[in-house]
């Protein structure tokens, strides 16, 4: 049986409907095109994202079900609360986005990461255009963890995270959920469920339900101050959560 996968033309920022995505592999929708800022924003606005390995063309995906976090109901484990109270990591947003993107790649082996040089450059371009944002975790003056993703209205599309010290990426997610929800954010997309996300409280939405919510969320913005470069949590803030 021959499976047809549409090829995207360069310079034309059009995608097939996510409902046309394959079941196997789950969510594969199209290939080709480019990683231009306009194409990437169009993709995320339609519930589509790029992911591809060495030697492959750019592949575009919209899997079902979709792994998500509700930032209002995110509850850190008691052990994580105790850990943060002891180590007192500090959390910032958008203070070194390019470095976070690079560390999400370089802290993994080449076999573990999809963040090749072309992809990293694309997300850095999105950051310069005001769409890609990072959360940084600091142990005194040392960057020890973080995450980054794409802002689409009241949706934050999480892309990757890293930890150089214990629990740093979990602390980043905890702090961001609090900050994002206070700014009017409604949903955090994590793409595909895995055991790590599940352990943090992620749950799944079928593609149809996710796309329905996306249509509303992308039409409303969070507080403009949400993504300004700033410190968003200190040890005192965590102690009062």
Give the confidence band of 54 by pLDDT, cuts at 50, 70, 90: confident
Q: What percent of the chain has pLDDT over 70?
A: 94
Position 3 scores a pLDDT of 74
Q: Which residue, 183, 139, 180, 125, is CA-closest to 157?
A: 180
CB neighbours of 68 closer than 8 A, spacing ≥ 6? 187, 188, 189, 190, 202, 203, 204, 205, 210
The structure tokens 């055991």 sit at 195
> Under a CB-based contact definition with an 8 Å cutoff, are residues 191 and 204 in contact?
no
Confidence of residue 106 (pLDDT cuts 50, 70, 90): very high
In tens, the pLDDT along 184-222 reads 999 999 999 998 899 889 999 999 999 999 999 999 999
In whole angstroms, give the CA distance from residue 217 to residue 201: 21
Q: Are 210 and 69 in contact (CB under 8 A)?
A: no
Q: For residue range 116-175, what is the model confidence (pLDDT) as tens digits?
A: 999 999 999 999 999 999 999 999 999 999 999 999 999 999 999 999 999 999 999 999
Domain boundaries, the chain: 7-63, 67-239
pLDDT at residue 112, rounded to an integer: 65
Provide the token pair at 223: 């507080």
pLDDT at 55: 86
Residues 6+ apart with CB under 8 A from 2: none
Task: Look at phi and psi of residue 84 and say left if phi exceeds 0, alpha if psi is from -120 to 50, else beta.
Answer: alpha
Q: Residue 137's beta-bridge partner residues?
A: 91, 145
Question: Which of 3.50.50.60, 3.30.70.3400, 3.30.479.30, 3.30.70.3550 is the CATH number of 7-63?
Answer: 3.30.70.3550
Provide the mean pLDDT of the chain: 93
> For residue 240, is pLDDT > 90?
no
- Write the CATH number of the domain with boundaries 67-239: 3.40.630.70
Residue of 136 and 232 predicted with greater confidence? 136
Are 220 and 153 in contact by the 8 Å Cβ rule? The answer is: yes
Q: How confident is the model at residue 28 (pLDDT cuts 50, 70, 90)?
A: very high
| pLDDT value for 1 | 54
Integer Cα distance of 187 and 43 in angstroms? 17
> What digits encode the pLDDT tens for the residues 73-91?
998 889 999 999 999 899 9
């Amino acid at each position: 049986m021959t499976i047809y996968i549409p090829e995207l033309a360069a310079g034309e920022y059009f995608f097939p409907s996510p409902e046309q995505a394959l079941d196997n592999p789950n969510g594969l929708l199209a290939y080709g095109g480019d990683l231009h800022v306009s194409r990437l924003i169009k993709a995320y606005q339609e519930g589509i994202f790029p992911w591809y390995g060495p030697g492959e063309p750019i592949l575009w995906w919209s899997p079902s079900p979709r792994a998500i976090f509700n930032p209002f109901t995110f509850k850190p484990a008691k052990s994580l609360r105790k850990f943060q109270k002891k180590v007192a990591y500090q959390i910032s947003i958008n203070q070194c986005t390019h470095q976070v993107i690079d560390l999400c790649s370089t802290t993994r082996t080449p076999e573990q990461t999809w963040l090749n040089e072309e992809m990293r450059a694309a997300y850095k371009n999105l950051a310069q255009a005001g769409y890609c944002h990072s959360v940084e975790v600091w142990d005194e003056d040392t960057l020890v963890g973080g995450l980054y993703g794409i802002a689409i209205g009241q949706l934050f599309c999480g892309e990757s995270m890293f930890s150089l010290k214990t629990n740093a990426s979990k602390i980043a997610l905890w702090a961001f959920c609090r900050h994002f929800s206070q700014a009017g954010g409604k949903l955090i997309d994590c793409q595909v469920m895995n055991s790590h996300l599940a352990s943090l409280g992620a749950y799944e939405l079928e593609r149809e339900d996710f796309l329905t919510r996306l249509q509303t969320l992308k039409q409303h913005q969070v507080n403009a101050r949400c993504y300004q470069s700033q410190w968003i949590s200190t040890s005192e803030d965590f102690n009062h959560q």
